[in-house]
């Protein structure tokens, strides 16, 4: 049985670096990627999961008070969940945060997460002050 994998590209369009990478994974075996993404630069991350499903919550500090946070989950039947947005800098990427985000209603200035599994690619946008984040997740 094959294992799931997830590759994502993070483009930092800020003039300053985003730092302090944190992740909380479920059913994943490994992750590779930097703990810092320089300003006006892109980095690629790769993670490999177990054969039945795979999920991951990760975040980067983008200012002293704000983190960029993303959640993705891939099921063995090719369905996906996806969430992206901003969280307070002092809140770690962990199961408690994931539960809180999962209960929040969509708010385009804080956090967007589809409440149902999808079998089609997803794209989400969130703005917060002068920050804009765009996320795209495909399945298959």
Segment 32-48, tens digit of pLDDT:
888 899 999 998 888 77
Using CA atoms, how far apart are residues 99 and 101, in angstroms rounded to an integer?
A: 6
> Above pLDDT 70, what percent of the chain?
90
Task: Note down the domain range covering 91.
Answer: 5-137
The answer, yes or no, to whether residue 25 has pLDDT greater than 80, is no
Number of domains in the chain: 1
Residue 127: half-sphere exposure toward Cβ, Cα within 13 Å: 2
> Taking all residues of the chain, what is their mean pLDDT, rounded to a whole number?
85
pLDDT at 1 over 60: no
User: Which residue(s) pair with 61 in the sheet?
Assistant: 19, 67
């Amino acid at each position: 049985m094959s294992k799931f994998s997830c590759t994502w590209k993070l483009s930092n369009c800020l003039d300053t670096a985003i730092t302090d990478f944190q992740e909380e994974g479920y059913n994943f075996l490994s992750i590779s990627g930097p703990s810092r993404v320089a300003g006006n630069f892109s980095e690629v991350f790769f993670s490999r999961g177990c054969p039945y499903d795979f999920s991951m919550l990760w975040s980067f500090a983008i200012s002293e008070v704000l983190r960029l946070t993303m959640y993705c989950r891939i099921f063995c039947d090719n369905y996906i969940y996806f969430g992206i947005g901003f969280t307070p800098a002092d809140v770690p990427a962990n199961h408690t945060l994931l539960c809180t985000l999962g209960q929040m209603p969509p708010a385009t200035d804080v956090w967007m997460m589809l409440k149902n599994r999808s079998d089609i690619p997803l794209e989400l946008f969130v703005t917060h002050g002068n920050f804009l984040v765009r996320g795209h997740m495909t399945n298959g």
